[in-house]
């Protein structure tokens, strides 16, 4: 095997689409073709039955579909609010216009253009490429800022930064009159030179839909979606959202740039107003009405809003003679519709018409109902590697929160393949210790070493890639991903960063925790016990050296707890991982652990076998004290 | 020196109105994590109420209470019609809801009144000026600063001395914890909207005294200033919002007289860039909000 | 038989001649009725509809009825192009256009020189281009700023200050004013920047002006009426006593409604409502017919002017063909309109017509000068 083909193989693995090509490659292609066909077919049927204004409407709708699909690539996959995509559109639009408009025209309208741009004359296709390039540079810089600000689902900082971009681009465009023609005239193509015909729009729309749809299935896209659902849980699986968000941003900006250049080309004019607030909100409304997490939704939303707005225009127009409209309704009708659609959808169906539903998943479900004959069974250790000969050890960990000392010189050690418990009364510092190990909390002093690597203070995703993967006390699943996808995401990370450690496949893991039949169910629809089991399977899929479990049985009945003991043991054995488990439930700890550490008021007060710990008077005192509601003061 | 002093006074005069608007935005953000881009609609409504009353022959003495009441009622109305239903939704949903409100209100005025602006009289004393040591003090600026101080004092009393204020503060300081303690109740949110409506009402009175205009987008500029000021202040922080408003007013005055020709139009943009940089390097804004994430 | 505009304006809608029955001459109006352009196009479209009713009431143009189609462009470039296309599909012979080039240029991209476009309320010089069959009906900014400068010089004023913001209109008018004023021997002693439409506090600029050695004889600006009123108040407050000379924006944005605050202001405008003048007859007739006055009589007059230009071209050519009518409009000479007599100089799409300088006296316009 030559180096080239190896690189190719690596690349295709890199896209994360190798497994299940029907779902990740063929389906999306088929879906995109069908979606595009429906859209264009409907559009052609509409234009065949009316005047030339219908052609204009369809042209504008198809271009808007490109822009909206582009915005969706970022907003949909990452969940980050962006009000700035139309600002990128403005950059692209102006770059395109300044480069593509003929020099003769430019000497009339912007004779003083800087950098000799008045003499430049590029083919529209080349100008579009240049527009993409310039916009990418801007997007990269903004992307760095977004990363630095900790952009994630619902982060206000991202909304502010992107809004700032929109405003700044607008004000620069308004004031840099030498280049942009200024606030009201803008710059325009000489007559007859604007885009006529839709061939290029068809081609670019199809490519945009296809790329956006395929991106959802790529490794980057899926990891970005996981981070969208839960930023911290994603990091704890070894995902670094910054990378994926940046890729999503750049790709989405490319599509928006293409759409914006087309918009300018088709209008024949650009002024600052064309790419500002109104267009931002119209395109966002299209996206949210259709469903921002879905490419099909982006396209459908564009169609629905276009039909609605055009319908309002028709009703308010000269062809409808209803006296009641005259005295009140006509002038603001489209505004009412736009605002009303936004309000209505936000209030009644904020995930949009389609949420994350894609045409191809539905098409595939019609055709391929894959049935597996394998029974549910715990993963067999023989398939898996022997326990790792490594150690997880913390030494002298101290954590201060303000004036409150949460941990003081705490130390635990877990050998490969060993199951170690960590108990202690409420507020003893158990979860804090787990957070220190997981890289969520930085200790004031002390070290945390796993498999000989010092991971003290390392970012959460580095810790996870180093082989320490955790679950969360208050369940943090990737809610709108399916059960299967939750596990797959973790496996994707493991494939790249834990490639030295083979592990059981997704199906085996899901069968191991009894969730295979529910693999198509969204994680947020699972009941409590199943959700806990899914967290275990997801953590295991990351192929850790050590599983860190934070109260895996909290909220479970005794019978479920017993069952959980079994699942934890078999799963850990199957992947050859050591386990550090926190729990209140002494029965559970006694039933599962080889050794137990007891933590009280931030200090380790006892270590030993479960039997030794149960007999230890210090431990009894700590628990009794806590049960008596007693003497301990907490801040 | 005189010049600088002059600009200081001008800036604080401007900034006081921004502070009132920002405070209203911060109060809402505190209780429900909503950046209320529909805050300007309160001013738009106030403007049309003023215009309507003027055409009935009333003067400013009657307008002031009418504006305060209508602004408060509008705030409550918007809460009832829109924000109540998205209370537990994502920030994205809430922000878009506020834009939806903005569109609908604007369209209603275009339909119901006119796209054209309406004019009403400014108070006669508006531009009177007293000169103190070479510094020109507009009576208007003094009134704005004075009433802003009174309003802020009232707000401080409300926030520090009443049960409602304590819950409000608790919510603003640690939104998640306050919510877990059940603070996110109907009453506190409604109260926050009433408060933000009254604050916007006071700001409206002064804003409208100066513009004397009612048009469907009358609230857009003040809303933008208020949001910018609230952002500078860290969004949820009440004290920060006031500081942010004053800072914005001062920065604008300083920029206008110092920016080279042709860049005055970029003032908002520059302020926005500074805010964005603030958010890049200190995502919580100028005044840090403590928010422990429960893991 | 020609077209007697006075007879048309005098028509009584309750007592019409038999309806004309010929092939109608269709005129479209791509009107911006949104909050952006509504200040001009709302009255303009109402006046246009009324004016056309009057014409049809007097038997049409030589027996040819007129038909007006109004399409709202909603302050949106996409909608503008669709509205324009709808009008083309309806077979109009000419289109009346919106005030802002933001939408004027997208409109021209669709008409593409095939159908004449007459921008009713725009003064933007770049919109006028006979080669594209694009015409202004109002004087352009070059004309109104030059007229303002001439007026200032005629008054013997020697110093001026301008308030400007870069770009068309708000920047272009002060720029031309400065050029003409200084060429005529005047001096522009200062130029202050501000943000058009948005700024409501000019205390910084007022204080700077207070520090000038002597106040300028006149302040020239293209600012909106309410901004000018605030500026004036703040200048009064710091003891700067000067005159104000404003563009047509003053009237368009409700200048007279500002009352006391703008007493004594001069501004350049499209018409003067002298008793018995056509503007007044149109306005009063409109009010009598509909029960409500036009929000802005000048724009009503300009809309009627635009229709008069189309009729004049139709009468000269006898053709419904938009290209023929467009070519004829480009050669229009001495067309009697509501706001004055309009002619297009050879090769220009901006009409030669008078600029009226009003002064606000006791809250009402008084004619200070007619220039050109």
DSSP string, C297-356: HHHHHHHHHHHHHHHHHHHHH----HHHHHHHHHT--SEE-SSSEEBPPTT-SSPB--EE
Say if residue A140 is exposed, middle or buried (CB neighbours under 10 Å; 0-12, 13-18, 19+): middle
**What are the pLDDT digits (tens) for B149-192?**
999 999 989 988 888 888 877 776 666 666 666 655 678 889 99
**What are the pLDDT digits (tens) for C62-87?**
889 999 999 999 899 999 999 999 99
Residue A465 CA to residue A496 CA, distance in Å, equals: 9
pTM: 0.92
Give the number of A-B residue pairs with CB atoms closer than 8 Å. 142
What residues of chain A, 31 to 60, have a C-beta less than 8 Å from chain C?
Answer: 51-53, 55-57, 60
Give the number of A-C residue pairs with CB atoms closer than 8 Å. 104
User: Highest mean pLDDT range out of A299-303, A621-625, C208-212?
Assistant: A299-303
How much is the pLDDT for C110? Answer: 94
Q: Which long-range contacts (CB under 8 A, 24 or more apart) does C260-265 make?
A: C260/B121, C260/C363, C261/B121, C261/B122, C261/B212, C261/C229, C261/C232, C261/C233, C262/C225, C262/C228, C262/C229, C262/C232, C262/C360, C263/C360, C263/C361, C263/C362, C263/C363, C264/C359, C264/C360, C264/C361, C265/C228, C265/C232, C265/C359, C265/C360
Q: What is the 3-class SS of A377-396, one letter each residue?
A: CCCCHHHCCCCCCCEEEEEE
Q: Helix, strand, coil shares of chain A as percentages rounded to 5?
A: 60, 10, 30
Smallest CA–CA distance, residue C184 to chain B, in Å, is 25
Label the pairing between strands A595-600 and A603-608. antiparallel
Judged by CB atoms closer than 8 Å, whether chains meet at A182 and C168 is answered as yes
* pLDDT over threshold 90, residue A358: no
* pLDDT over threshold 50, residue A1: no
A278 touches chain C (CB under 8 A): yes
Residues C295, C39 contacting (CB under 8 angstroms): yes
A241-267 helix and C77-89 helix, angle to the nearest 10 degrees: 30
Label the pairing between strands A419-423 and C355-361. unpaired
Judged by CB atoms closer than 8 Å, whether chains meet at A51 and C86 is answered as yes
**Residue at token pair 């080309």:** A265
B119 neighbourhood in chain C, CB within 8 Å: 225-226, 254, 257-258
Q: What is the pLDDT averaged over residues A249-256?
A: 98
Grouping H, G, I as helix, E, B as strand and the rest as coil, residue C158 is: coil
User: What's the sign of the alpha-carbon dihedral A608, A610, A612, A618?
Assistant: positive
Label the pairing between strands B135-138 and C66-72. unpaired
Residues A479, A216 contacting (CB under 8 angstroms): no
**What are the pLDDT digits (tens) for A597-618?**
998 888 888 899 988 888 888 8
A183 touches chain C (CB under 8 A): yes
When CB atoms are compared, the residue of A51, A188, A313 closest to C109 is A188
Label the pairing between strands C243-246 and C187-193. unpaired
Judged by CB atoms closer than 8 Å, whether chains meet at C89 and A51 is answered as yes
User: What's the sign of the alpha-carbon dihedral A303, A308, A309, A315?
Assistant: positive
Q: What is the pLDDT averaged over residues C188-207?
A: 90
pLDDT level of residue A24 (50, 70, 90 thresholds): confident
Nearby residues of C261 by Cβ (< 8 Å), 6 or more positions away = B121, B122, B212, C229, C232, C233
* pLDDT over threshold 70, residue A382: no
Residue B174 CA to residue B292 CA, distance in Å, equals: 8
How much is the pLDDT for A370? Answer: 53
How much is the pLDDT for A328? Answer: 54
**What are the pLDDT digits (tens) for A398-407?**
888 777 888 8
pLDDT level of residue A194 (50, 70, 90 thresholds): confident
How much is the pLDDT for C251? Answer: 85
Between the alpha carbon of residue C60 and those of residues A5, A497, C185, the distances in Å are 81, 83, 52
How much is the pLDDT for C225? Answer: 92
Bridge partners, B119 (sequence order): B213
Residue B21 CA to residue B203 CA, distance in Å, equals: 6
Closest-CA residue in chain B for C228?
A: B211
Nearest partner of C338 among C245, C272, C291, judged by Cα: C272
- Element housing B214 (H / E): strand B213-214
How much is the pLDDT for B177? Answer: 67
pLDDT level of residue A629 (50, 70, 90 thresholds): very low
Q: What is the pLDDT averaged over residues B223-250?
A: 90
Q: Average per-residue pLDDT in chain A? A: 86
Those chains having 3 or more beta-carbon pairs within 8 angstroms of chain A are: B, C
How much is the pLDDT for C197? Answer: 87
Residue B29 CA to residue B171 CA, distance in Å, equals: 9
Residues C56, C20 contacting (CB under 8 angstroms): yes
Residues of C with a Cβ under 8 Å from any B Cβ are 33-36, 38-39, 42, 165-166, 191, 193-195, 198, 200-201, 203-205, 207-208, 210, 225-226, 229-230, 233-234, 236-239, 253-254, 257-261, 295-296
Residue A96 CA to residue A125 CA, distance in Å, equals: 9
How much is the pLDDT for B180? Answer: 66
A511 touches chain B (CB under 8 A): no
Nearby residues of A362 by Cβ (< 8 Å), 6 or more positions away = none
How much is the pLDDT for B204? Answer: 96
Nearest partner of B75 among B138, B16, B144, B25, judged by Cα: B25
Residue C118 CA to residue C3 CA, distance in Å, equals: 19
Nearest partner of C290 among C13, C5, C8, C9, judged by Cα: C13
pLDDT level of residue A345 (50, 70, 90 thresholds): very high
What residues of chain A, 354 to 393, have a C-beta less than 8 Å from chain B?
Answer: none
C291 neighbourhood in chain A, CB within 8 Å: none
Q: What is the 3-class SS of A440-506, one letter each residue?
A: CCCCCEEEEEECCEECCCCCHHHHHHCCEEECCCCCCCCCCCEHHHHHHHHHHHHHHHCCCCCCCCH
ipTM score for this prediction? 0.91
User: Highest mean pLDDT range out of A541-550, B115-124, B170-179, C112-121?
Assistant: C112-121
A277-290 helix and A52-78 helix, angle to the nearest 10 degrees: 70
Residue C102 CA to residue A263 CA, distance in Å, equals: 15
**What are the pLDDT digits (tens) for B118-136?**
899 888 888 888 888 888 8
Bridge partners, B118 (sequence order): B214
Residue C240 sits at the vertex; the CA angle it makes with C239 and C243, to the nearest 5 degrees, is 135
Q: Which segment of A161-175, A576-590, C284-298 scores lowest on mean pLDDT?
A: A576-590
How much is the pLDDT for C321? Answer: 96
A52-78 helix and A219-229 helix, angle to the nearest 10 degrees: 70
**What are the pLDDT digits (tens) for A101-141?**
989 888 888 888 888 888 888 999 999 999 999 999 999 99
* pLDDT over threshold 70, residue A381: no
Label the pairing between strands C355-361 and C266-269. antiparallel
Residue B72 CA to residue A97 CA, distance in Å, equals: 47
How much is the pLDDT for A330? Answer: 65
pLDDT level of residue A279 (50, 70, 90 thresholds): very high
**What are the pLDDT digits (tens) for A34-88?**
999 999 999 999 999 877 889 999 999 999 999 999 999 999 999 998 999 999 9
Q: What is the pLDDT averaged over residues A557-579?
A: 87
When CB atoms are compared, the residue of B116, B129, B264 closest to C195 is B264
Bridge partners, A393 (sequence order): A413, A449
When CB atoms are compared, the residue of C70, C74, C101 closest to A185 is C101
Closest-CA residue in chain B for A476?
A: B295
Residues A76, A355 contacting (CB under 8 angstroms): no
A53 neighbourhood in chain C, CB within 8 Å: 82-83, 85-86, 89
Residue B89 sits at the vertex; the CA angle it makes with B87 and B94, to the nearest 5 degrees, is 75
How much is the pLDDT for B293? Answer: 40
Q: Average per-residue pLDDT in chain B? A: 86
Mutation for A interface: B38, B112, B276, most A CBs within 10 A: B276
A350 touches chain C (CB under 8 A): no
Grouping H, G, I as helix, E, B as strand and the rest as coil, residue A369 is: coil
% of chain A at pLDDT higher than 70: 90
* pLDDT over threshold 90, residue A150: no
Residue A330 CA to residue A321 CA, distance in Å, equals: 11
Those chains having 3 or more beta-carbon pairs within 8 angstroms of chain C are: A, B
Residue B256 CA to residue A166 CA, distance in Å, equals: 22
Grouping H, G, I as helix, E, B as strand and the rest as coil, residue A616 is: coil
Q: Which segment of A341-355, A380-394, B46-60, B159-173 scores lowest on mean pLDDT?
A: A380-394
Residues C294, C286 contacting (CB under 8 angstroms): yes
**What are the pLDDT digits (tens) for A285-339?**
999 999 999 999 999 999 999 999 999 888 888 877 766 556 555 677 888 999 9
pLDDT level of residue A634 (50, 70, 90 thresholds): very low
Judged by CB atoms closer than 8 Å, whether chains meet at C101 and A271 is answered as yes
How much is the pLDDT for C123? Answer: 94
């Amino acid at each position: 095997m030559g180096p080239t083909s190896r690189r190719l193989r690596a690349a295709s693995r890199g896209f994360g689409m190798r497994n299940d090509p029907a779902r990740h490659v063929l389906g999306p292609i088929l879906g995109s073709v069908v979606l595009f066909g429906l859209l264009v077919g409907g559009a052609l049927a509409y234009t065949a039955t009316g005047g030339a204004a219908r052609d204009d409407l369809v042209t504008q709708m198809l271009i808007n579909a490109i822009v909206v699909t582009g915005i969706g690539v970022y907003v949909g996959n990452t969940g980050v609010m962006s009000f700035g995509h139309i600002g990128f559109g403005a950059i692209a639009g102006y770059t395109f216009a300044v480069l593509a408009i003929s020099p003769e025209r430019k000497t009339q309208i912007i004779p003083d253009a800087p950098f000799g741009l008045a003499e430049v004359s590029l083919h529209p296709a080349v100008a579009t490429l240049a527009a993409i390039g310039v916009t990418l540079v801007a997007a990269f810089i903004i992307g760095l800022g977004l990363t630095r600000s900790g952009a994630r689902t619902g982060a206000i900082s991202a909304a502010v930064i992107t809004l700032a971009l929109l405003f700044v681009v607008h004000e620069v465009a308004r004031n840099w009159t030498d280049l942009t023609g200024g606030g009201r005239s803008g710059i325009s193509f000489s007559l007859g030179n604007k885009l006529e015909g839709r061939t290029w729009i068809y081609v670019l729309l199809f490519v945009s839909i296809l790329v956006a749809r395929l991106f959802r299935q790529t490794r980057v896209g899926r990891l970005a979606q996981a981070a969208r659902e839960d930023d911290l849980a994603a990091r704890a699986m070894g995902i670094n959202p910054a990378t994926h968000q940046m890729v999503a941003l750049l790709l989405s900006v490319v599509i928006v740039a293409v759409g914006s250049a087309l918009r300018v080309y088709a209008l024949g004019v650009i002024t600052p107003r064309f790419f500002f607030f109104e267009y931002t909100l119209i395109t966002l409304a299209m996206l949210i009405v259709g469903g921002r997490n879905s490419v099909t939704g982006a396209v459908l939303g564009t169609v629905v809003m276009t039909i609605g707005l055009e319908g309002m225009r028709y009703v308010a127009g000269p062809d409808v003679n209803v006296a009641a409209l005259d005295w009140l309704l006509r002038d603001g009708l489209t505004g009412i519709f736009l605002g009303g659609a936004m309000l209505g959808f936000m209030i009644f169906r904020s995930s949009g018409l389609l949420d994350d539903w894609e045409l191809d998943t539905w098409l595939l479900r019609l055709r391929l109902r894959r049935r597996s004959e394998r029974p549910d069974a715990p993963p067999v250790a023989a398939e898996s590697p022997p326990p790792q000969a490594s150690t997880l050890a913390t030494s002298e960990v101290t954590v201060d929160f303000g004036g409150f000392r949460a941990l003081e010189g705490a130390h635990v050690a877990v050998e490969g393949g060993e199951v170690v418990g960590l108990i202690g009364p409420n507020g003893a510092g158990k979860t804090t210790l787990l957070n220190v190990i997981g890289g969520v909390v930085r200790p004031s002093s002390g070290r945390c070493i796993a498999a000989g690597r010092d991971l003290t203070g390392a970012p959460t995703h580095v810790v996870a890639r180093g082989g320490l993967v955790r679950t969360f006390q208050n369940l943090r699943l990737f809610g709108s991903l399916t059960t299967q996808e939750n596990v797959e995401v973790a496996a994707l990370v493991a494939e790249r960063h834990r490639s030295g450690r083979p592990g059981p496949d997704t199906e085996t893991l899901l069968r191991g925790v009894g969730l295979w039949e529910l693999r198509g169910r969204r994680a947020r629809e699972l009941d409590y016990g199943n959700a806990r089991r899914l967290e275990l399977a997801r953590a295991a899929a990351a192929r850790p050296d050590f599983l860190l479990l934070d109260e895996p049985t909290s909220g479970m009945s005794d019978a479920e707890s017993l069952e959980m003991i079994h699942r934890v043991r078999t799963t850990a054995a199957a992947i050859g991982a050591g386990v550090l488990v926190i729990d209140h439930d002494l029965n559970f700890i006694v039933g599962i652990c080889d050794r137990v550490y007891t933590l009280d008021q931030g200090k380790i007060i006892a270590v030993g076998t479960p039997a030794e710990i149960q007999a230890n008077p210090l431990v009894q005192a700590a628990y009794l004290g806590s049960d008596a509601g007693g003497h301990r003061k907490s801040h | 020196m005189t010049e600088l002093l002059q600009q200081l006074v001008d800036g604080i005069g401007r900034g006081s109105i921004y502070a009132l608007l920002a405070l209203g935005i911060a109060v809402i953000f505190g209780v429900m994590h909503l950046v209320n881009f529909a805050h300007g609609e309160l001013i738009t409504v106030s403007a049309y109420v003023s215009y309507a009353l003027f055409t009935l022959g009333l003067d400013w003495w009657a307008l002031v209470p009418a504006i305060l009441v209508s602004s408060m009622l509008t705030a409550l109305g918007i809460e009832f019609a829109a924000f109540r239903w998205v209370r537990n939704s994502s920030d994205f949903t809430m922000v878009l809801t506020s834009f939806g409100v903005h569109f609908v209100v604007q369209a209603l005025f275009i339909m119901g009144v006119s796209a054209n602006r309406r004019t009403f009289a400014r108070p006669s004393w508006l531009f009177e000026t007293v000169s103190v040591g070479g510094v020109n003090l507009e009576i208007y600026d003094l009134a704005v600063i004075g009433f802003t101080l009174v309003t802020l004092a009232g707000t401080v009393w409300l926030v520090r001395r009443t049960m409602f204020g304590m819950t409000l503060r608790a919510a603003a300081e640690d939104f998640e914890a306050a919510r877990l303690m059940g603070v996110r109740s109907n009453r506190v949110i409604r109260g926050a909207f009433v408060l933000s409506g009254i604050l916007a009402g006071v700001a409206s009175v002064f804003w409208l005294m100066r513009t004397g205009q009612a048009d469907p987008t009358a609230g857009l500029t003040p809303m933008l200033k208020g949001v910018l000021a609230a952002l500078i202040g860290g969004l949820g922080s009440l004290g920060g919002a006031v500081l942010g408003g004053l800072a914005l007013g001062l920065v604008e005055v300083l920029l206008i007289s110092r920016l080279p020709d042709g860049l005055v139009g970029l003032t908002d943009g520059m302020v926005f860039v500074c805010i964005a940089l603030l958010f890049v390097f200190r995502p919580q804004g100028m005044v840090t909000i403590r928010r422990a994430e429960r893991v | 038989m020609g077209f007697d505009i006075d007879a048309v304006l005098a028509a009584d809608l309750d007592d019409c001649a038999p309806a004309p029955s010929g092939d109608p001459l269709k005129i479209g109006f791509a009107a911006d009725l949104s909050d952006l352009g509504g200040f001009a196009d709302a009255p303009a479209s109402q006046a246009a509809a009324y004016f056309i009713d009057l014409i049809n009431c007097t038997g049409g143009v030589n027996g040819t009825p007129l038909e007006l189609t109004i399409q709202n462009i909603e302050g949106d470039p996409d909608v503008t192009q669709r509205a324009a296309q709808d009008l083309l599909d309806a077979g109009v012979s000419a289109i009346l256009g919106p005030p802002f080039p933001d939408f004027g240029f997208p409109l021209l991209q669709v008409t593409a020189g095939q159908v004449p476009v007459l921008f009713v309320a725009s003064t933007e010089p770049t919109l006028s281009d006979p080669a594209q069959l694009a015409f202004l009906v109002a004087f352009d900014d070059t004309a109104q700023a030059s007229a303002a400068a001439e007026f200032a010089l005629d008054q013997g004023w020697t110093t001026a200050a301008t308030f400007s913001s870069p770009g068309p209109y708000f920047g272009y008018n002060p720029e031309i004013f400065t050029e003409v004023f200084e060429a005529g021997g005047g001096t522009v002693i200062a130029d202050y920047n501000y943000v058009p439409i948005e700024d409501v506090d000019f205390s910084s600029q007022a204080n700077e002006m207070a520090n000038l050695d002597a106040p300028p004889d006149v302040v020239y600006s293209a600012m909106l009426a309410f901004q000018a009123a605030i500026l004036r108040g703040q200048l009064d407050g710091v003891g700067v006593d000067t005159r104000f000379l404003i563009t047509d924006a003053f009237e368009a944005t409700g200048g007279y409604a500002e009352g006391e605050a703008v007493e004594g202001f001069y501004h350049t405008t499209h018409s003067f409502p002298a008793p018995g003048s056509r503007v007044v007859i149109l306005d009063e007739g409109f009010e009598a017919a509909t029960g409500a006055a036009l929000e802005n009589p000048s724009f009503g007059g300009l809309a009627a002017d635009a229709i008069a230009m189309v009729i004049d071209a139709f009468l000269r050519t006898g053709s419904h063909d938009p290209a023929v009518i467009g070519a004829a409009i480009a050669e229009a000479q001495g067309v009697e309109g509501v706001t004055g007599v309009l002619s297009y100089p050879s090769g220009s799409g901006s009409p030669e017509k008078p600029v009226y300088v009003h002064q606000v006296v006791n809250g009402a316009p008084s004619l200070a000068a007619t220039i050109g």
